[in-house]
Amino acid sequence: MKKHNTALTIAGSDSGGGAGIQADLKTFSACGCYGMSVITAITAQNTQGVSDIFPVESSNIEKQIDAVITDIGADAVKVGMLHSAGVISLVARKVKQYEIKNLVVDPVMVATSGDKLLQDEAIEALKSELLPLATIITPNIPEASILLGKKITSQSEMPEAARELSFNQSVSVLLKAGHLSDENLIDVLYDAEKDEIVKLPSQRIKTLNTHGTGCTLSSSIAAFLARGETLQTAVANGKDYIDQAIKAGKDYQTGKGHGPVHHFFRWWK
């Protein structure tokens, strides 16, 4: 019998379908993995913003994780919106219990619309309990600035910032440049395994359809890690996937605000 490469997302639900577990599951499928989900919160959300967040009980989150891992397993796990310190602690405990090998953490704090998604008291729990367990974390500039406690204002500051976020060179970091104003963007990967900085250039794509780009990039990296690719190859392939998904989605209008990327650009236009 054949065996799927499996990827699990632990994140919030986006009712609009562009971000969160909906984006993650689309990405897993598009990148060749069998996707599974653990829902941490239910949001009332569309392309214009988040109007409500309903947290899922920690006991149910734990049962969701147990149900998936003990039966199907996961070749990689992507973690997104966790919302509270208690849920962060729970997920960290489960990562240790099941000895998760490929853990991609997208430290989701603010939605594309500007809506806050992480409680203030949860930030310290994220830094002390979960991020040090990750294979790679994928912060954008605002998230990295919050984690470091200082602003990042230029691309020249990014390599050192990525190293600072690596928890003494134990966690790889993909620091994304999209929130800077440059037309030519250079994301920075700090590969902790090799103690190496890799610069990943790309051209800014002019579009409003950027809802869920962070979710999509981090889940594509998780999918490629689940398929057995090396960290640098998984990140390069994830970058290529999100760039093509943004380009393919820029000509669509979905909703009245920041629309989604086109996750299935390889199959239909």
Q: Catalytic residue at 6?
A: no
Which of 27, 176, 238, 259 does the annotation list as catalytic? 176
Which of 18, 35, 212, 249 does the annotation list as catalytic? 212
Which of 9, 18, 215, 239 does the annotation list as catalytic? 215
Which of 80, 210, 239, 259 does the annotation list as catalytic? 210
Which of 6, 9, 135, 213 does the annotation list as catalytic? 213
Helix or strand (DSSP H, E) at 76: strand 76-79
Q: Catalytic residue at 70?
A: no
Q: Give burial (CB, 10 Å; 0-12/13-18/19+) of 243.
A: middle
Helix, coil or strand: residue 87: helix
Q: Catalytic residue at 215?
A: yes
Rounded Cα distance, 138 and 74, in Å: 20
Rounded Cα distance, 85 and 81, in Å: 11
CB 221 within 8 A of CB 208: no
Rounded Cα distance, 65 and 14, in Å: 19
Q: Catalytic residue at 210?
A: yes
Which of 17, 214, 238, 249 does the annotation list as catalytic? 214
**So which residues are the catalytic ones?**
176, 210, 212-215
